Amino acid sequence: MTTSHYIAGRWVEGQGSDCISVNDPALGQPFAELMAASVAQVDQAVTAARGALPAWKNTSASERANYLHGFAEQLGQRREALITLQMRNNGKPRHEAQIDLDDAIATFSYYAELAEQLPSKNRDVPLAAPGFSARTRLEPVGVVGLIVPWNFPLVTSAWKLAPALAAGCTVVLKPSEVTPLIEQAYGQIADALGLPAGVLNIVNGKAETGAALSNHNGLDKLSFTGSNSVGSQVMRSASAQCRPVTLELGGKSAIVVFDDCDVDQAVEWIVAGITWNAGQMCSATSRLLVQDGIADALLPRLQAALENLRVGNPLTEEVDMGPLTSQAQWLKVAGYFATAREEGLQCLAGGKALDRDGWFVSPTLYADVPKDSRLWTEEIFGPVLCARRFATEEQAIAEANDSRFGLVATVCSADLERAERVADALEVGHVWINSVQAVFVETSWGGTKGSGIGRELGPWGLSAYQSVKHVTRCLG
């Protein structure tokens, strides 16, 4: 797979120094490799996007909507191949891979419809002062660099690519080097639809490629989803150019269970929040706050539920949870198991890597975890759940908010008035009440504190790629 980069409407061979090995995490073995893009090729991609911008931003919103509808349709036509690739390269169970594809399709369809509803570029603005007229215009930000992670490829790129194209921006997309293959579908679809050359460019690579893109002075905006450590580097690059940036970063989210909640239902919500995608989610609700009155009944059932999960190769077994996506993540999670032993944490379930081929770990539950434990405060990015008890609503809110992150939270209670009240008090960007983590394209996505800057999805996702221009004219 040498022609792995899509630049100016053509597939080209990588000319970088890095060879990217693409692995099957259920086997711990590579099944493809490709050469990274060089710094010069990143420059070519940005130049192509810059050259395509004038014509693309002046296309009608309805024309752009037609292309987005085409992306949605073409994704559906590639359904089985894309689902299988998600399973093979990410280790996702089939039902998760299916939802990923459906989310990507829904995103392109939603922004196609939003583009069709875009108002005229000019909107009159009434002024109190006489003798002047004013109008406002919504214009595309320009050329944007999109850097996406390995835990939800295809999905996260759809969240960025669809609104950027709808707004009239041209883009350079850099997938993760861990999962570089599935985003190539977007280049194939661009070819099939006849998308103008340079509107979409895709460059693959490791840190050198990402740095070349984020540092490029030909970009007008950066949008990044990933770790806080890399996000801070992206932000420094953006600050050097004084250009806007959207960052969707980490989380250490809480799930709060009150004692009036049905125990079995609570267990279902808790398990989904920590084992979906093997816990490799910035939104994983990895801190369980359980009220004293329900804790003794809930924790044993939660322990049993985690121990009974089927963990295995999604391509050959019927599983509830697959492997971790990379060896590096497997080693990281194993390191936290060692830390838990050093800290003397009470392990009710799991706490170990599985003795089999591939990068598997057991779904894990620690009880009565101190607030100063590294496992309570740090993002692990694996199926590792830490539990603490609380007595009052005020205590639950205080402990849930006691984090440097603020991405999401879940509240479980039969008292809906209380659940709504707690949701309003939580310092996060998204709250679920009595639900699994259902994410809808019409809602917003993003966090507070150290979880990022800006919002994706919904109309906010579109506005992130739009610039507001005001024109004032003297009538005298």
- The whole-number average pLDDT for the span 406-413 is 98
Question: Which helix (H) or strand (E) covers residue 405, if one does?
Answer: strand 405-406
Which residues are designated catalytic? 248, 282
pTM of the model as a whole: 0.96
CB neighbourhood size of 60 (10 A): 11
d(CA 204, CA 198): 16
pLDDT higher than 70, residue 1: no
pLDDT by residue (tens digit) across 255-299? 999 999 999 999 999 999 999 999 999 999 999 999 999 999 999
Q: Which two structure tokens, joined as six digits, stand for 408?
A: 């999401």
Give the DSSP letter string of 293-325.
HHHHHHHHHHHHHHHT--BS-TTTS--SB---S
pLDDT higher than 80, residue 120: no
d(CA 106, CA 366): 37
pLDDT band at residue 355 using 50, 70 and 90 as cut-offs:
very high
Q: Helices 207-214 and 228-241 meet at what angle, rounded to 10? A: 30
* Of residues 44, 37, 33, 39, the one with CA closest to residue 5: 37
CB neighbourhood size of 23 (10 A): 22
pLDDT by residue (tens digit) across 169-221? 999 999 999 999 999 999 999 999 999 999 999 999 999 999 999 999 999 99
pLDDT by residue (tens digit) across 21-48? 999 999 999 999 999 999 999 999 999 9
Q: What are the φ and ψ backbone dihedral angles of 33, each rounded to 5 degrees? A: -145, 155
CB neighbourhood size of 179 (10 A): 23
Which domains, and CATH codes, for the chain? 5-249+451-474 (3.40.605.10), 254-441 (3.40.309.10)
Beta strands in 141-176 (DSSP E): 143-147, 170-174
**pLDDT at site 121:** 72
Q: Helices 61-77 and 155-167 meet at what angle, rounded to 10? A: 160
**pLDDT at site 3:** 66
pLDDT by residue (tens digit) across 219-262? 999 999 999 999 999 999 988 989 999 999 999 999 999 999 99
d(CA 384, CA 341): 14
Task: Give the torsion through C-alpha atoms of 191, 197, 199, 200, to 10 deg.
Answer: 50
